[in-house]
Structure 1
């Protein structure tokens, strides 16, 4: 399901944007989970797990600006669509580094917001197509790449560990882990951090020489021989 977050410390602006968004979703017959926040700290804390595909952010807020909040969110969600709304047009240049898709000056006009949402959702739909089909016992299973935390290999079975804690496993294989990864995940989305573990680069929250903390708070080990390669690939991924 589509997930959208709104954050604005001004009640009237927050309600206006929420009202327009509800009208837009109803008109397009789109089902979405929308969460509304009045402070950027609450937004950042909750969205670590909620992970909206679209953010509607005010820029001028207490303690933490919308741009600063967007930088925090970008770290774990490089593909999220960010829309800024503010009464201060002078922030446009400063917001450039978080790659927003639009910058709407308040009071937000309905037609401007609707056209921006059209663009945001077209990009979300394109991103949602990034999935893999996995052979499981009794058939096939389609998994969104963004939901895969890591893949491991035990007793000739490959298991996909998902963000919600679900584990999806293949039947017993006749090939090794390296060959399986080469055949099924030849892209740059995963990196081997251990002889029997490959982690999704987009799922990494913290990397040390001993282990990786994933965004769902799970930890996986990093072998000494693989740390340098993992660190290099992780930095390349973040700087793309």
Structure 2
């Protein structure tokens, strides 16, 4: 099993210690850990869509953007990601309830508490696997693709092409079969050959959608009005 983990702490020494401990714990569980680190909340948020992070471990007290502030944005942008807060200060314990999170660990108790926090995160990710992944069937493989990473899905003859933030995947399927796997409040069919993710729409340019990767997607004439209504409804519900 592979786990993509993001660590954020403004203290480089603490960041290195947490990274080493996570590597050790993952090794004991036969998990291949891919760890990305940041020394500020601002840096994390700037690169939040660069990686498909499944688990964040965040220090709380950081200058400018705190771990709480960063977690609120993670909740919005990557709602399936699990969050563990880690801090030297117990006084921040109540503040974490402003966010969706899994665990609060005092740095002084890291050796005792972090293993349980990691196990809870693994359990949560396992329980949610089908709900947060698009299951792509390719030859004899079934590949789970995190839903939050999907930008669009395109039909090409008898295939569909799934475009994510970092890759493209192909499979033999109908577009409607793909649409049935996706949460309707996060995706929209804008053309007979295209499905787009609301979160990755940058703007509507005439009869095209500009996505966050600068890809232009056509909007079918019969889909234009329902798309605008869906975007308006989404804007007022957030």
Deviations 1:157-203 (A, max 9, x none): 433223323241437x7xxx55x557x547535321234311245xx
SS of residue matched to 1:57: strand
User: Residue 132 in 1 paired to residue 129 in 2?
Assistant: no
| Moved >4 Å (runs of 4+) | 138-141, 154-157, 232-236
Measured on the aligned residues, the alpha-carbon RMSD in Å equals 3.1
* 8 Å contact kept, 1:150–1:198: yes
1:83 deviation in Å? 0.7
Residue in structure 1 matched with residue 217 of structure 2 by the alignment: 220
Counterpart selection for 2:194 from 193, 197, 212: 197
TM-score by structure 2 length? 0.78
SS of residue matched to 1:99: coil
* 8 Å contact kept, 2:159–2:170: no
What 5-or-longer segments of structure 1 have no aligned partner?
none
Counterpart selection for 1:208 from 194, 203, 212: 203
* 8 Å contact kept, 2:154–2:162: yes
Instruction: Answer 1 or 2: higher relative contact order, Cα 8 Å, separation at least 6.
Output: 1
What 5-or-longer segments of structure 2 have no aligned partner?
none
* 8 Å contact kept, 1:52–1:80: yes
Q: Distance in 1 between matches of 2:91 and 2:214?
A: 38
How many residues align structurally? 227
SS of residue matched to 2:224: coil
Q: Distance in 1 between matches of 2:156 and 2:52?
A: 30
Q: Distance in 1 between matches of 2:229 and 2:116?
A: 42
TM-score by structure 1 length? 0.78
